[in-house]
Structure 1
Amino acid sequence: MTVLSVGKRMAALAALEPNLPALTCEGETLTRIQFEKRTNQLARYMESIGVKAGGLVVVALPNGMRFLETVFASLKLGATLLPVSSRLPKAERDGILDLAKPALVVGLESESYAALVPDFVVPETLSNAPLPDAISRPTRGLTSGGSTGRPKIIFTTDEGTVETDGPPGMKIEPNKPVLIPGPLYHGGPFAYAYRSLLFGAHVVIMTRFEAEETLALIEKYRIDTVPLVPTMMNRIWRLDVDLRNRYDLSSVRMVVHYGASCSAWLKQQWIEWLGPERVDEFYGTSERIGFTWINGSEWLAHRGSVGRPIDCKIRILDEDGNDVPVGEVGQIFMLHNSGSGTTYRYVGADPLFQRNGWETVGDMGSLDQDGYLYIADRRLDMIVSGGANIFPAEVEGALDEHPSIRASAVIGLPDEDLGHRVHAIVESLEPINETALREWLGDRLVRYKIPRTFEFVTTPVRDEVGKLRRSKLRQERISAQ
């Protein structure tokens, strides 16, 4: 088994095939040797500002080459990364920076910390030769607002090394082109871009997701792997059928979706379109306490499942900590194969809730008799209305199937009679008759799950990574009452 640092691995790939494409964005391509030299120069520039092994680098850049150049330059110095959205509101950004206390902030102005603005220029006089070897411990952290809205940082426990003889992970194929439509600060797109580059792949980045452009790039660059969130899948599927089928997608080995619940009807359409062997899904947590994986053929046999565990054990427990029967919904607890508490470290929050070493992030779900996991929803998002438990994801799935609905968010609002009433925020493509919508939902949901109130909007209900922030949406509406 050969283990190399990130820096040595990238240098070896550049020496082996210097002129192969490494990175493409908006028609511009960097070869392996160009990427290697640029990241070496950038690393020296960052070092001159004060970044060193063990330091923290906040990366707040939009999607583009500079983002990944900063990532690999930081790792070559042995620094730890903290990718964040370049669009963070000032209050949230300041809260994260105060927790992180970074050696350098790249992409934002800061009065308290060393910073590089997005259009910074690296001095050409700096050497582009390989740097002294260094290993990041850990490689990165992720940020989360959590259920309270207070920021926290989730640091991984992995190191900046790669087993060059082993598999890349995440079903990545070495040296095969990968398209990244999602924001790189998010865990899924970051992981696919990072791991793919470490194994010689050509990574094509989109500065922002566009449905038709995604298909055009797949055809142009003969893409092998495409990670998507369900929102992206929905927008691609809603393209005119002739337009959608105009592009050659025969190079695609795997479309893999993640990050949010995918409605069964949408998943079925993609499987019928591409074939079950080309549509995969994974479920996991930012804390990496466990992951599940399922391919399209398995999904057809276990409709609605997110798969079986691949690096952990799973139990479904009731509120008293007892295992629930097969098929019954409870709280999902995971135990990673490496042991409890071994995959993450929090800053700004207490560790996850545990029962005898088994950990949970609060998701609700069930297991079938074959060990396949089904996600119900977040425990904190569950609505108790008139004594009945209602999972927003199920209602949203029914709403999103409507041809005039782009996306929806379902929340519980205080109600004197029911405790909470089901309220739907609907991002519509065109005006929708509420009575007709209720009748349409009546064919898909039992009566008590149909929203009592509707709110039609034209602004996005999901953020740029396709996630719903239900607690924020709920609080905004309660505050406005």
Structure 2
Amino acid sequence: MRRPAAPRVMATPGIGEMTPRGMGVLLDIHAARDPDAPALSFEGVTLTRGQLASRVNRRARTLERLGVQAGDFVAIALPNSPAFLELAFATWALGATPAPLSHKLPAAELAGILDLLKPRLVVIDDAGKAGDWPAHAEADTFDAAADDSPLPEKIAPHLKAIASGGSTGRPKVIVDMSPGVADPDRPLLGMLPEGDVLMNPGPLYHAAPFGMTCFALGWGLHVVLMPRFDAGEALRLIERHRVRWLFQVPTMMHRIWALPEETKARYDISSLDAVMHIAAPCPPWLKQAWIDWVGAETVWELYTGTEAMGGTGINGVQWLQKPGSVGRVLPGYEMRVLRRDGSPCDVDETGEIFFRPLRGQGTTYRYLGAEPKAVGEFETLGDLGRVDTDGYLFLADRRVDMILSGGANVYPAEVEAAIDAFPGVQCSVVIGLPDEDLGQRVHAIVETADGQLDQVALAAFLADRIARYKQPRSFEATAERLRDDAGKVRRSQLRAERVEA
């Protein structure tokens, strides 16, 4: 692969150097400069900057007629599409906050999230799933006859609100405390506002794909959006659009790498400047394979959470010197690794990872439906790790119970609650087992009186109650007690026994 002459520098400008503008006016700014430049490509159709800005302004005025006001939340539960992004920017244009949601959520799960969010409007094609909340299909949010001129600039109090199942099995919403602003002339991470192309193969209802895709559009990049991930199609699009920025999770990396060699060799991906992976641990062998394929200076990893309370970063060159590390703490944050009693761990001692933004606790997010876990002003995502003498973080585990399957968070308590509602189930324990494709697959151990279980009926039962990616891919039945009288379970032991087997 041809290497770029000058590798990107993943640096961020100082706050004092930035001139933030409301997210809702960014597309108008770029459209005024070059209306015919490509802005968004999707399934063979490319919208120019002028076309995209026009559609966003029409949607904004339609949303306004539907009652959306500054300070509101607007839930967007749609598949990946230009409409999803148009609605996000239209929401910002009104000074409101977009809340991306999966369109595949069962009605019961969606209801729990909406009850916390209390949105002014839910954009969803199956309006019946929204319950009593005001809902409209996507087509109802676009009036082709509406005024498409720029709206007065308004700034949303929150950039976004992202839903999560929560470690307790109850839904929660993570509200971004940053206002809806960005500098159209100062892209972060070394991106270039003219000529750079970013491809997003991930679902827009996840925080990282949503945020990076929207920021890229706001910075004037050409964005290539996939309706859903397909490994071969991803390579074709990279070649077709000369993609320079690729954001993905390790499951996507694995599926691309697993393609036949003749398929991978068929496409020219030499345009790639940065391959950034997020959301889940990347197996060392897979990371090494990508480094060998596209070059060490091209591969980047970010470890953080939707809460943005802190994080680390590392590039491929550094990773070769520190194999297995997720990097050093990002600028603007402090990191500590603490023992259970809250005392600091020694170098290379494993403990729980805590972060604090230099701006202070609570400046990056707030929960709806949950409380943060903190020691003083330092908060944790619940992950375990160690820091070496050079300040590089190595993860020991990704949260005590949480399962990372295909880059998505699956909380056992939520899945167990759904399983336990099935007739005949006395108890269940959900664990993650190693999977070459997904990283971890969801496995359910189900206790019944006689050790028998109708797995087909249970799977159908769960399909109506929890999202597809959370549903167990394998089951086993047992008559043995899974929990003691206090309700405690040796989850790690159960997992270890099955991994050994």
Bin of the TM-score, shorter chain as denominator length: 0.7 to 0.9
1:309-388 to 2 correspondence within 5 Å?
Answer: 309-310=329-330, 311-350=332-371, 352-381=372-401
Post-superposition offset of 1:146? 1.0
1:91 is paired with a residue of what secondary structure?
helix
**How many corresponding residue pairs?**
413
For residues 418-448 of structure 1, give each alpha carbon's deviation from its aligned partner in whole angstroms, at most 9, with x where no partner exists: xxxxxxxxxxxxxxxxxxxxxxxxxxxxxxx
Deviates more, 1:289-298 or 1:324-333: 324-333
Flag the 1:68–1:353 CA change in 2: closer, same or farther, 3 A: same
For residues 93-131 of structure 1, give each alpha carbon's deviation from its aligned partner in whole angstroms, at most 9, with x where no partner exists: 011111111111012403412212144362222111111
1:242-253 to 2 correspondence within 5 Å?
Answer: 242-253=262-273
What percent of counterpart residues are identical? 43
Flag the 1:188–1:382 CA change in 2: closer, same or farther, 3 A: closer
Flag the 1:278–1:106 CA change in 2: closer, same or farther, 3 A: same
Post-superposition offset of 1:377? 1.3
Flag the 1:244–1:474 CA change in 2: closer, same or farther, 3 A: closer
Q: Does 1:174 align with 2:193?
A: yes
Larger RCO (CA under 8 A, 6+ residues apart): 2
Name 1:81's counterpart in structure 2: 98
The Cα RMSD (Å) is 2.5
Post-superposition offset of 1:171? 4.2
Flag the 1:153–1:300 CA change in 2: closer, same or farther, 3 A: same
Q: Does 1:152 align with 2:172?
A: yes
Amino acid at match of 2:308: R
Flag the 1:300–1:479 CA change in 2: closer, same or farther, 3 A: same
Post-superposition offset of 1:170? 4.0
Flag the 1:170–1:191 CA change in 2: closer, same or farther, 3 A: farther
Q: Which runs of 5+ in 2 are unaligned?
A: 1-17, 404-430, 448-462, 481-501
Post-superposition offset of 1:371? 0.5
Give the alignment partner of residue 46 of structure 1, picking from 27, 50, 63.
63
1:253-332 to 2 correspondence within 5 Å?
Answer: 253-310=273-330, 311-332=332-353
Q: Does the 8 A contact of 1:49 with 1:114 survive in 2?
A: no
Q: Structure 2 length as normaliser, TM-score?
A: 0.78
Q: Does the 8 A contact of 1:278 with 1:296 survive in 2?
A: yes
Q: Which runs of 5+ in 1 are unaligned?
A: 384-391, 416-458
Q: Does the 8 A contact of 2:92 with 2:180 survive in 1?
A: yes
Aligned counterparts of 1:304 and 1:17: Cα–Cα separation in 2: 44
Give the alignment partner of residue 227 of structure 1, picking from 221, 238, 247.
247
Post-superposition offset of 1:382? 8.6
Amino acid at match of 1:372: Y
Aligned counterparts of 1:184 and 1:71: Cα–Cα separation in 2: 10
Post-superposition offset of 1:286? 1.1
Deviates more, 1:133-142 or 1:118-127: 118-127
Aligned counterparts of 1:214 and 1:247: Cα–Cα separation in 2: 10
Name 1:418's counterpart in structure 2: none
2:211 is paired with a residue of what secondary structure?
helix
Q: Structure 1 length as normaliser, TM-score?
A: 0.81
1:404-443 to 2 correspondence within 5 Å?
Answer: 408-409=440-441
Give the alignment partner of residue 61 of structure 1, picking from 78, 82, 101.
78
Post-superposition offset of 1:153? 0.6
Q: Does the 8 A contact of 1:138 with 1:159 survive in 2?
A: yes
Q: Does the 8 A contact of 2:62 with 2:141 survive in 1?
A: no
1:116-127 to 2 correspondence within 5 Å?
Answer: 116-120=136-140, 122-127=142-147
Q: Does the 8 A contact of 1:381 with 1:411 survive in 2?
A: no
Amino acid at match of 2:192: E
Name 1:140's counterpart in structure 2: 160
Q: Does 1:12 align with 2:29?
A: yes
2:88 is paired with a residue of what secondary structure?
helix
